[in-house]
Structure formats: structure tokens, C-alpha cells
A and B are shown apart, each in its own frame.
Chain A
Amino acid sequence: MIEVKGLSKRFGDIHAVREISFSVKEGEIFGFLGPNGAGKTTSIHMMCGLLTPDSGTIIINGKELRPNSTALRREIGFVPQETALYPELSAVENLRFWGGLYGLKGDKLNQRIDEVLHLVELSSRAHDRVETYSGGMQKRVNLAAGILHNPGLIFMDEPTAGVDPQGRFAILNIVRELAASGKAIIYTTHYMDEAQKLCDRIAVMDFGEILGMGSFEQLRDQVGKGFQIFAKGDFDGPKLAHQLKNDFKGEILHSGRGLLAVVVADAAELGRFVAAMKAHGVNADDLKIKETDLETVFLKLTGRELRD
């Protein structure tokens, strides 16, 4: 569906996207996971034809995307990060406009509007002004506007940002339904659990680079199944790591001033690590322990927590 090769973009001194390459198939949900400023939106804008890349190619359905490929734009659905809707118009009126831009009209347009409003569960509020909707409802109309013309490739830029857990659950289900109907979906988020639960494949991104890519299981294999321990306290991380080296079996992900992150394979090793820390004067209260997940991968790849 889409194939991206060596895509780069600079804004002055900021290297927003560096040489990213990947491809996404029909029915696949491909996630971009990264913190603020990672370059997710910039990447999506280039793939939608809004930004001209400095270098690299984007091939959609076998055709290269160029600044004036108007026909190719019909294949693309775009759900922007900020809600881009006319607040004084109702959901139906907004959708009529966005649908009109893609040449939909008459009964066909009305039928599609009914369908997408049903999908995002807003049929009952269809004729109210968008400005009277809650943030989560607006996000859902925003999504509806992006898929109205039935595109094969859909870009969704943080569609769940600022939405409560129930709302997020609803949106994730819509995305799954769309993928099940054969759409290729490129989805950005900085919620680790979302990427883990929703995406078939994930690209971990930071400072414009894709640091690791694959399914959740493949990515986790880089750190193994087990436990992640994150210690914070009044100690010298690298020195402590050196002293602890022989006291337990595990991988040191990251160390710094007052900071140490390790991965251990099982509960027994976890016990040995905690005991060893105690011997060096670090309290159990200062340890954050959880099963290894994408955050562990992110920590290993970037040396920082996802939400810092």
C-alpha cells in the first residue's frame, strides 16, 4: 500500500526526520511511537503530501507521491492531530463539506455520512454544532471526516490524545474495524499501551529516527520477557552498576546520576537484585518494578523514559 524510503526533513537546524524507511500493507496497523517532538507529525505530513521531503521517496499503490498528484490524494485519508473542523457547523455539515472536497455528493454522500457517524457512534448528535461536543466527541468527528471518502490508506495523528479511557477504547475499536475491512493504517501515539495493544507493527521513534521496528513481541525480544527495574536515589548510577555486576544476572539498560535501569529474566533474579541494592544502601521504596514492555524497549533504545 505504502512504501517509504530514506525520508528526511530538516527545519533549519532541527533535523525533524532522519532517513526513515518502512512499508505498510493492506489491513495492517502500523504505529509510530515516540515522545513529543520525535518527528511523528512531520513524517505524516510528508506522507500526505503536505510537506515536501528534503530527500526520500513515498510510493502509494505503486505510484510516487509528488506535490501535484491530485488523483493519488483520493487514496489518502488524513486525521490531523489538532481537531480540524468548523466549530459553528454541525457534524453533518462538516462532513458534507469534507465529502464534497472528494467529489462525493447527493445520496451517496448522505449514505456515507450516515455510515461513518454510526461507526463513530455520534448519530444522535449529528445535527448539533461541533462546538457543543466534548473533546472526545470532537476527536471522533475528526476521525470520521478523515475516512468519509473511503480511502485505502489512513493516517491518524494521535487520535486519542486528550480523550478519556472510555473514549480511547471506542476509538481503538474503530481503528481495528477499519483495519479489518482492509485499510492500511498509520497511527501515531505516545501511549505505549495503545501501541502495544493496537498495532501490528510499531516503529519506535525519537529525534527523527526510527530506533527499532517490528511487532510488539519482536521488539520485546530485544530486552527479553521478565522484569524491568528502575531505581532512583542518591547514588552514582555507573559506579553502582559496576559494583553490582557480579551480584545478579541481568542486563543494565541505562545508568546515570541517581538513576539505574536493569532488566532481569525472572523473579529469582529480581530478588537477588533487590537484595544487592539494599546491601549498597538503596531502599526498596526507590525501586519501580514492572514486567518488561515497550517502555523497556524504549528505555533501552533511547536511554530515557517515554514520558519524561
Chain B
Amino acid sequence: MLKVLLKKDFRRLAKDPLSLLFLLALPLVITLIARSVFSPSAAAQFTVPLAVVDQDNTPLSEFITSTLSNEKMASLFEVRNIPLKEAKQELHDNELAGIFVIPKGFTDQFVNQKPAALKLTTNPSRVISTGILQSTFEILTNLLDGIRELFPEQIAVLSQKNTLDMETVFELGRSAMDKILKEKDLLKFPVTFEKEKGRKKESGSPQNGIILAFLPGIAFMSILFVLSAVFKRQSEELENGMINRILVSPATLNQLLSATLLYSLAMVFLIQIVLWLISIPLFHLQIFHGFLLLKGIVYMSLLATLLNAVLYSLPMKLRTIEAFSSIVIITVCLLSGLLVSPLIMPGGLREMVSSSPFYAPVEIITRAFTGGNFPLITSSDAIFTGSILILLFLSLLLFRSKINRHRAGTV
């Protein structure tokens, strides 16, 4: 019976390829708009609040900290030079995305070819900024490593000076240049170095950070639209007598609802596959955790199905529900961080959005792309999926009783 019902649904879908195309085009168009709007120049408006704590106070550490606040970097980081204690408090209050510490003795270790470490503390509630910070500092440490490897003499000069004046910098640059020109191998090395690191750099670039802040939300929105179309059609069939005719046959209401649910989920996955298959090469996204992506998609699908099942079970006329559902969809898009990323929301709203269940799948998917050490499965997963499945079941019962009420003539 399920097979017969589902076959009919897919045949109808295939018969109306334009509507299918439209459903698929919707997320794509939004994605393309997002790509053109968030060009690298637009990305400049997005800054990561970062505290820089220099405990070393040497010319090198000064050089590094000033690099972070120079003109080019200013478009990416909003640097604050504050004491560590204050910075920690601000991070806790979600005012900062990260704290960068140059520990005492760093320069000494660096110039004397000893293992040297910089410290980066990131804010776990700011997933995208964390991704940006991590990849930026990865580049920075790679760069410092490379400099130490290639220019030992120049580094030695650095260690003897107490201050770094213009003349010294110029002198260092000139001798480094001489070295590059004399030793051809050296020239090759940085080129291949660039190439190898190219992909990784790109995935963490601020542009993709922005795109990533929006892509999962777009995915969520497209799911909401598709599901609302499916549930709307079901309600139309209820009003125009199609469901009555099905229910005169040996098919039961439970079978009909199961088929609707399966069809909805199939549609959702279809949309997801198309969206991500196109987005990943389009935005040069790099998936760090395929599992997290899948988990986020499953969460989104469940939430969206739940939302629609509840909406269309409301004891209202179809037209009223449709009007109401657009309000709900926009609200949910806001709460999922789609319309405005929570990163740039004012304090109170940001917290509300970050803690809304609709933001959860968006965050999970973002993590799948930004990498980092996140647990793939958390203890709250069971609670989340469990409660959504229970609610979904309850809302399907609600939808079922609406159909029954309709048949009994009380709607």
C-alpha cells in the first residue's frame, strides 16, 4: 500500500518537472545571491573581536601584534590590547571571539631554535570566528616556522637588537632578498609551499566564513519551503475530496500519513543533496566532518517536518495556515541564523538565537565545514533527537485527528 501511495507521489513529481525545478532553484538562487553579496570586499564588514596579550614585550612580539592590527588585518580582526585577566572575563561574556597570547620567553625560544609556542584561546560559542582564528594562526605559525628555517642569520641579528628600527628592518629585508636571489632552491621552496597550503587557507578564509554562516540557514529555509509544499498539497487533497476517495479504499489513514512522511523526507534529502553538491565546489568548501554534516541535515529535516506537521494540523482553513506559515518560516529562518548571522546580532538577541533549537543544526553543519576539535556525538544528541521524534509523532497524531474531524464534518 505504501509503495502504491509513494509511487503515485513521485510520478506526480516527475510529471511536473517545472515545480521540481522551482523547488530546487529556490535554494540555488539564494545561494548564488549570497555568493555575490558576500564578495571579499563585503567580508570586510565582518570582524572577529580578538584580544592580544603580549607578555613577551620584545621587538618580535611587538612586530607580530602590530601585524594583527595593521590596515589589512583590521578588516578581519578587531584587536584589543588588554590584560589577560580582563580578556578572559570578556571571552566568558561572549564579547570576544578569542585571546591571543605571546607568552614570556617566546622570542628567546624562537631565535635560539628551541620549540616555541603561541597560545590561542577561542570562544566555543562562536563557531565561525573560531574557524577563522584557527586557520589564520595556523598560517602565522607556519610563517614563523618558515622564516626561522630559511633565515637563521637574520633571526640571529634580531635576537641581538633591543629595538626594531626602520633601518634594521630594511637591512634584514635586503639580506633576506639577497639570499633568495642567490640560492635558487629557496625560490622554488616557497612556491610549492604556497601551493600545498593553498586549499587549506581558502577553506578558512573570511569569505567562506561568511558564506558558511548563511549556507546552513539557506538549506534550512529550502527544507521548510519544500515541506510546506508537501503538507499544503496534503491539506488541499483533504479539502478537495481526494483523501476521502483514498480512504474509501482499503488504504488506511495511518498508511496515508506514513506515505506522506516518507515522501517529505525523500524530498528533503533530494534538496539537501543538490544544494550541498553544488555549494561545495562553488564556494570551495572543505568538509572536515562528513558525519557532522549528515547529523546537521538530519536534525534540520526532523525540525522542519515537525514544524510543518504542527502547522498543518492547526484547526484552521488552509489559506489561513498558509499565511501563518510564512510568518513562522521567516521567524524560524531568523532563529536559525539565516537572515542575520548571530555573530553580528546585538547581545541579547544573539544569545536567544544561539540557544534556539533551530540554530542547533545550523551550528552543527557549520562545524562540519570549519573543522576544529568538536565532539561528533554529544550527550544532548539523544535528548534532542528523542524529543523531536516524540513531538513529531504527536504532531502526526494531531494531523491525523484533523483529517478525522474533517471527515466527521466538524471542521
Contacts and interface: CB of A to CB of B under 8 A. Distances in A.
Give chain B's interface secondary structure class.
helix
A45 B12 contact: no
Given A74-B250, A84-B242, 16 more contacts: A9-B409, A11-B410, A50-B247, A51-B408, A51-B409, A52-B408, A70-B250, A71-B250, A73-B248, A76-B248, A84-B240, A88-B16, A89-B11, A97-B8, A101-B1, A101-B250
A301 B240 CA distance: 34
Nearest to A100: B4
A98 B12 contact: no
A101 B259 CA distance: 13
A76 B242 CA distance: 16
B169 interface: no
A73 B245 contact: no
Contacts of A291: none
A93 B12 CA distance: 10
Contacts of B104: none
Interface string A95-121: 001101111000000000000000000
B4 A80 contact: no
A47 to B, nearest CB: 10
A48 B241 CA distance: 13
Contacts of B376: none
Interface string A76-92: 10101110101011000
B380 interface: no
Contacts of A84: 240-242, 244-245
7 contacts: A9-B409, A11-B409, A11-B410, A16-B409, A86-B8, A89-B15, A98-B245
A81 B252 CA distance: 21
Nearest to A76: B248
B282 to A, nearest CB: 32
B251 A101 contact: yes
Contact of A82 (B11, B15, B240, B251): B240
Interface in A1-50: 9, 11, 16, 42, 45, 48-50
Contacts of B245: 78, 80, 84, 98, 145
A37 to B, nearest CB: 13
Given A80-B241, A84-B244, A89-B12, A102 B409 contact: no
B174 interface: no
A177 B251 CA distance: 28
Contacts of B251: 101
A217 to B, nearest CB: 34
Interface of A: 9, 11, 16, 42, 45, 48-52, 68, 70-71, 73-74, 76, 78, 80-82, 84, 86, 88-89, 93, 97-98, 100-103, 129, 145
A11 B409 CA distance: 6
B12 A102 contact: no
Nearest to B242: A84
Contacts of A48: 248
A98 B242 CA distance: 11
B197 interface: no
B249 A50 contact: no
B246 interface: yes
B7 to A, nearest CB: 7
B249 A101 contact: yes
A98 B409 contact: no
B4 A97 contact: yes
Interface in B202-243: 240-242
B199 interface: no
A129 B14 CA distance: 13
Which residue, of A45, A70, A78, A100, has the highest number of chain B Cβ atoms within 10 A?
A100
A145 B410 CA distance: 28
Interface in B118-166: none
B4 to A, nearest CB: 4
Which residue, of B241, B244, B249, B410, has the highest number of chain A Cβ atoms within 10 A?
B249
A81 B250 CA distance: 20
B12 A88 contact: yes
Nearest to B13: A88
Contacts of B8: 86, 89, 97, 100
Contact of B11 (A9, A50, A93, A103): A93
Contacts of A71: 250
Contacts of A93: 11, 15
B284 interface: no
B80 interface: no
A118 B406 CA distance: 36
Interface string B248-292: 111110000000000000000000000000000000000000000
A80 B11 CA distance: 23
Interface string B1-23: 10011011001100110000000
B240 A51 contact: no
B241 to A, nearest CB: 5
A80 B244 contact: yes
Given A88-B12, A129-B15, A102 B407 contact: no
A80 B15 CA distance: 24
B409 A50 contact: no
Contacts of A51: 407-409
Contacts of A100: 4, 7-8
